[in-house]
């Protein structure tokens, strides 16, 4: 049976498996010696990125929104709803799904930090909505009425749910065939590892593919000098999501080295993983169709977005060693790169990056004159 703190586990943390170590989960949270230092660096980086949505001024966006055409308002509001859905899943799922089966302190710390950062994204959407809409509740209440959003919610939750269910039985009952309330429950460790692999692949797709139609639309408005506060927030979110994407890509590579079972699992599930990517791309294309059902906006249309999502997916699939499916080798929306690249996101009211948010930028030369002139 699992425990919050297993006093019988004497295994060295540097010898444990990343997940599902036979000797149990994380005991002492220590970071002096690490099996996989890269995940500790992900935590440092994410903490260095810390931001609050209230720091970004979206007051002008309220005026901009009123001046948008009805079609443009549909695009903007619909994308907000979809982003709320995606981060509502990610604001809880990583720690709920992966937390009970993680075995390394640096990985456990990263998963909790990652999940927390997703809650900031969710709070940012509320910040935007409160400042733009006269009735914010209406936006939230209507969210699941859109079929394309409901379908996406079901798709991205499935792999998480499958993993959570079997991991719960594993932690409660252990391996074997059990009878629970008259029903047979089979708990197989190899099958659990396979579900972990698929869940990680699913979240890799979520972080790396599913946001990008919505992101592109947000940045397209800003290119037209509209809804610029929202675009700054989306840039901060995209910066975080790129970090999360990198961590899931590294996790998938690390598992192959950490446990030989995952090489076999990767081969066995390759077709299923390819299908997961293809299904996500088709859902994003359907979303573009929904957004632009009444026409295009300046600089952006359904066809460009469909080509863009194929370009994004092609790169993501290469990064996790899956076969090539899409031939879109060049970015059809090259101007999006400036919104994705770099971490020099400016936030109001200072309109400069806050140095204390950046790793290594904590001021070390504090002396008696540092705060001279300050009055409290």
CA distance 322 to 352: 40
Active site residue 190: no
Report yes or no: 346 and 321 within 8 Å, Cβ to Cβ: no
Helix (H) or strand (E) holding 163: helix 147-173
Q: Is 175 helix (H, G, I), strand (E, B) or coil?
A: coil
Residue whose C-alpha is closest to residue 134's, from 181, 87, 73:
73
Residue whose C-alpha is closest to residue 284's, from 245, 314, 310, 317:
310
Residue whose C-alpha is closest to residue 360's, from 41, 48, 37, 46:
48
CA distance 158 to 97: 12
CA distance 5 to 9: 9
Count the Cβ atoms, other than its own, within 10 Å of residue 12: 9
Rg value, the chain, Cα: 22
Residues 6+ apart with CB under 8 A from 257: none
Question: Angle, to 10 degrees, between the axis of helix 70-90 and the axis of helix 212-223?
Answer: 140
Backbone angles phi, psi at 330, to 5 degrees: -115, 150
Reading the block at residue 215, the tokens are: 């992101």
CA distance 61 to 143: 21
Residue whose C-alpha is closest to residue 125's, from 168, 82, 96, 89:
82
Catalytic residue among 36, 125, 290, 311: 125
Provide the b/e sequence for 160-169 (b: ≥16 CB within 10 Å).
bebbbebbeb
Report the catalytic residues: 125
């Amino acid at each position: 049976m699992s425990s919050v703190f297993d006093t019988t586990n004497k295994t060295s943390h540097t010898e444990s498996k990343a997940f599902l170590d036979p000797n149990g989960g994380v005991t002492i949270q220590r970071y002096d010696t690490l099996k996989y230092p890269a995940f500790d660096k992900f935590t440092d980086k994410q903490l260095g990125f810390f931001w609050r949505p209230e720091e970004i001024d979206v007051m002008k966006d309220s005026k901009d929104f009123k001046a948008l055409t009805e079609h443009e308002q549909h695009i903007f509001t619909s994308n907000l709803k979809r982003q709320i859905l995606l981060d509502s899943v990610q604001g809880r799922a990583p720690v709920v799904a992966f937390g009970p089966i993680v075995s390394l302190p640096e990985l456990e710390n990263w998963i909790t930090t990652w999940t927390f950062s997703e809650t900031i994204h969710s709070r940012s959407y509320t910040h935007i909505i409160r400042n733009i809409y006269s009735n914010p509740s209406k936006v939230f209440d209507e969210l699941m009425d859109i079929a394309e959003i409901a379908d996406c919610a079901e798709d991205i939750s499935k792999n998480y749910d499958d993993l959570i269910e079997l991991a719960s039985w594993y932690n409660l009952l252990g391996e074997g065939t059990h009878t629970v309330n008259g029903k047979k429950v089979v708990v197989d460790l190899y099958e659990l590892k396979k579900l972990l692999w698929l869940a990680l692949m699913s979240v890799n797709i979520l972080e790396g593919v599913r946001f990008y139609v919505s992101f592109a639309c947000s940045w397209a408005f800003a290119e037209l000098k509209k809804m610029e506060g929202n675009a700054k927030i989306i840039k901060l979110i995209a910066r975080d999501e790129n970090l999360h994407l990198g961590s899931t890509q590294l996790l998938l590579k690390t598992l192959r080295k950490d446990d030989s079972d995952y090489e076999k699992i990767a081969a066995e599930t390759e077709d299923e993983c390819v299908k997961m990517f293809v299904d996500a791309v088709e859902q994003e294309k359907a979303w573009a169709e929904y957004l632009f059902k009444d026409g295009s906006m300046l600089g952006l249309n359904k066809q460009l977005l469909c080509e863009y999502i194929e370009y994004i997916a092609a790169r993501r699939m290469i990064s996790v060693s899956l076969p090539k499916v899409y031939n879109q080798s060049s970015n059809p929306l090259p101007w999006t790169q400036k919104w994705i690249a770099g971490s020099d996101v400016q936030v109001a009211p200072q309109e400069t990056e806050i140095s204390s948010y950046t790793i290594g930028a904590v001021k070390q030369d504090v002396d008696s004159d540092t705060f001279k002139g300050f009055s409290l």
